[in-house]
Amino acid sequence: MSVRGEIMVRDLLWCCAGITLALAPHVTRLPVLLPLSFVLLLGWRLLGAYRKVPLPNRQHKLLWALTQLGALVLFTLVYLRYQGEMGRDAGVALLSGLVGLKLLEMKEARDFYVICFLAYFLVVTNFFYSQAIATAVYLLGVTVLITTALIRFNSPPQQSDAACARLAALMVAESVPVMVFCFLLFPRLSSPLWGMPGADDHGMTGLSDQMEIGRIAHLGTSDEVAFRVAFDGAQPRARDLYWRGPVLWETDGRRWQASDVARMGTAPVVARGPRFRYEVLLEPHGERWLLGLDVVTSSGNVGRTSRAQELTAHNPVKKQIRYTLESATSYSLTDINANERRAALALPPDAHPRSRELAARWRAEGLAGRRVAEAALARFAEDPYAYTLTPPALEDDPIDEFLFDTKQGFCEHYAAAFVVLMRASGIPARVVTGYQGGEYNGVSDYLIVRQRDAHAWAEIYLPQEGWIRVDPTAAVAPERVSLGIDEFRDAEAPLRMLSDSATAIAMWRNARQLWDAANYQWSQWVLGYSPQRQRDLIARLGIKHVSVGNLVLALVAVLALFLAALGWMLLRRRPRGAGPAARAYAQFCRRLERIGLAREAHEGPLEFAERVAGARADLAPAVRDIARLYSLLRYADAPTGADALRQRVRAFRPARQPQAS
């Protein structure tokens, strides 16, 4: 038996497990040398605990110097990797490296506590990157594990690991009400208390203000959620679910990109038919684009609306945001100025010769306006064009090769080719990118729009009619528009050939919808708990005037009531006889102190008894009996025995051991 304060191997294993699991989610975010170094340092510390290798200390000066050099290398690596910017990523990297080095010098109880508290802080840093349900559940488990390590370290060796883990889980569970109260009542701020420089756009996918052949096809294979939409009342038809994003005007023959030609000013929108009000929960994508149902008629204070009806935020969308819009799916955009007309007719010189020749033939045949558009759509519908997610590569002139050679493509191929044909025919046209369709989630009554729903279509300008949406993809694959890309992909899947595949697919979709509904509610009520939602909640409680001071007072009052209730419960649960038993045990400890065997502050009754028994074998039976009986009364809630303990303490009269001559 070791004196408490010494770090036992079992304590070390629990501590290392907690640190490793707290660090695990960061592995892919850190420079590769840091996780490797942590694994080496962890292995070194564990081997040292089993006395397989020496640990660095002043007796092993070379090893001690090696660790000092490692600390210097760590600081240099972090400085160079993050170019001296101490933000979120650099701070997490530095903390991860320091925790590994601290493990090597962990020798005393103080070191153990420092490591555990660093592990708690490492848990918190994971929320800088993800606040999903899965992350919260995982880190809650890691918190229980680290708490178990602390309890294990402060418990008698004979107490089982399972008992320590149960106590840790109970303590964490008992803290949940306090956490909920603080979350609900702590004053919410519209901006963070501090900035976190170093955040980047890694891992973000979505539309941009450029479209190159193959870009949307790549998004078409992604299951990531782009945004979710909850309608206030009736929903539009599936074929009307066009979510407008960047409008592309300029092209070099292969790449299309947005232009400032229609960014300034506003253009009138004449809405026809019903208007739809809805709330959008947009995932971060690193750009300024805000998605809205085509076309937005009212955006409130959300972003800016261009003359091309693009909705953009004031800053890049690097975190999940929520906004409310109103849209009409039947509308008219009749305004076009000279600059827009010029941009909507421009084609790169000497590009697309065969497309220009086809447009010239149509003009020679007397086709104009809407009839030209109908001729282009008829070509897509009647000729052997195919809609595919894996089109062949286009090496030279992508538009001509697609229109006259491969005839296989994704929505971007059809939209770009259609716009080229219209411009070559003298009709102003532009490419519109965004999303089309969405998956209805019946669990929570909202639409999920995924990256694979990314779509491109065209708009042409006709006199007396204005800008008109034309979706060339619908002429080739109408099911892509009416049913969505999910049905198109399922139709191509070999799994459909199996007799029971429909049931398996349905079960998979139901499970996925349940999980997404849980994430949606989490985003609504936890991640989206804004100052306005807090004020609404408090207003429902009957408090009309909400201020930061009132919130602080309410929080303090709730916490005081909670602590009072907790104290009352602890008093009710106090073991019977604990008062007399504690007084008797204190008298027992004083008698031992008189003979030079003082109890240390960190020692439990059983530990102290074993130390006394080791020092004075003649006192061992009486000391162990008193300690066992006191432990049963004080900690195991034994119903009787206080009188027996007092009698044993009265009879306990230890004599000082004579000095050896």
Between strands 446-450 and 225-231, the pairing is: antiparallel
User: In whole angstroms, how far apart are CA 68 and each of 65, 104, 583?
Assistant: 5, 11, 50
Structure-token pair, residue 29: 């975010």
Secondary structure (3-state) at 145? helix
Beta-bridge partners for 243 = 293, 435
Q: Is 164 known to be catalytic?
A: no
CA distance 505 to 522: 26
- Per annotation, catalytic residue among 15, 16, 164, 411: 411
Secondary structure (3-state) at 506? helix
Give me the phi and psi of 497, to 5 degrees please.
-75, -20
- Per annotation, catalytic residue among 397, 453, 455, 516: 455
CA distance 185 to 544: 15
Give me the phi and psi of 141, to 5 degrees please.
-65, -40
CA distance 40 to 54: 14
- Backbone CA torsion sign across 226, 231, 234, 240: negative
CA distance 364 to 487: 41
Q: Which of 252, 254, 470, 264 is nearest to 346 (CA)?
A: 252
The 10 Å Cβ neighbour count of residue 22 is 26
Beta-bridge partners for 248 = 431
* Structure letter (DSSP) for residue 590: H
- Backbone CA torsion sign across 597, 602, 607, 611: negative
Helices (H), ranges, 477-619: 478-482, 485-492, 501-522, 531-540, 548-572, 578-594, 605-615
Tell me the CB-side half-sphere exposure of residue 321, using CA atoms within 13 A.
Answer: 22
The amino acid that residue 238 corresponds to is A
Structure-token pair, residue 307: 């003359």
Residue 31 near residue 74, CB atoms below 8 Å = no
Encode 417-453: b = buried (16+ Cβ within 10 Å), e = exposed.
bbbbbbbbbebbbbbbbbbbbbbebeebebbbbbbbb
Q: Is 116 known to be catalytic?
A: no
- Per annotation, catalytic residue among 397, 453, 471, 516: 471
Q: Is 455 known to be catalytic?
A: yes
CA distance 371 to 448: 37
CA distance 343 to 178: 60
Structure-token pair, residue 642: 């206080």
Bin 350: left if φ > 0, else alpha if -120 < ψ < 50, else beta.
Answer: left
Residue 332 near residue 238, CB atoms below 8 Å = no
Q: Which of 115, 105, 123, 9 is nearest to 64 (CA)?
A: 105
Per-residue three-class SS string for 466-505: EEEEECCHHHHCHHHHHCCHHHHHHHHCHHHHCCCHHHHH
Contacts of 230 (CB under 8 A, 6+ apart): 278, 279, 281, 445, 446, 447
* Structure letter (DSSP) for residue 246: E
The most distant pair of C-alpha atoms in the chain lies apart, rounded to whole Å, by 130
Residue 415 near residue 473, CB atoms below 8 Å = yes
Please give the positions annotated as active site. Answer: 411, 455, 471
